Amino acid sequence: MIIAILLTSTLLTMLGIAGVLTGAYDLSMAPLPEDLRELSEVNEELSDAEVQLFEARVSNPYRRPMAAANVVVSALVLIGSFLLSWRRRLAQWWIKQAVAAKLIWIGAYTVTLVSHVNLTFVPLPAEPQGDTLSALIGSVVVLSTVNAALHVAAAYRATRPDIAEFIRASAPKS
């Protein structure tokens, strides 16, 4: 049981740290350089669609508020992981609330980014607009779904009744 708790706590810790670092990076991200298109021409690995997705992500007017919210909700997930590894009675409740907040954030972030991509997408000359736009939106939605699934799986594992019983039996009396 201890191994299950530590593995779940480790997953929650990694998700929390990744969210905090991503949020901090988005908060500190500088405005787009004017020569981004020229850099993408030099670096042939970047397609025009990837450059547009990066531009949409950076120019999203909700980027900074969503980044600050990401730092907060990811810190809540991180605190929940610590409470779980310390086997505190409050851990399961805290994890449920933190993951619920993170899922709301994932949904809000996905909606704001997809709507901004829809507004700012410039048709590419070589490809039909619908195919490229749907591929960009599809990639954003798939990544958000994977992120949400990881959080739900970790929360499910952390809030199982056998974990609750183990925590109750071994938690320090306060």
Stated pTM of the model: 0.85
Residues of the chain whose pLDDT is less than 70?
A: 31-47, 124-130, 171-174
Contact 129, 123 (CB under 8 A): yes
Provide the pLDDT for residue 8: 94
Q: Helix, strand or coil for residue 35?
A: coil
Could you report the per-residue pLDDT of 106-124, keeping only the tens digit for each? 999 999 999 998 888 777 6
Provide the pLDDT for residue 128: 60
**How many other CB atoms are found less than 10 A from the CB of residue 80?**
29
Tokens 């900074």 appear where? 64
Contact 39, 55 (CB under 8 A): no
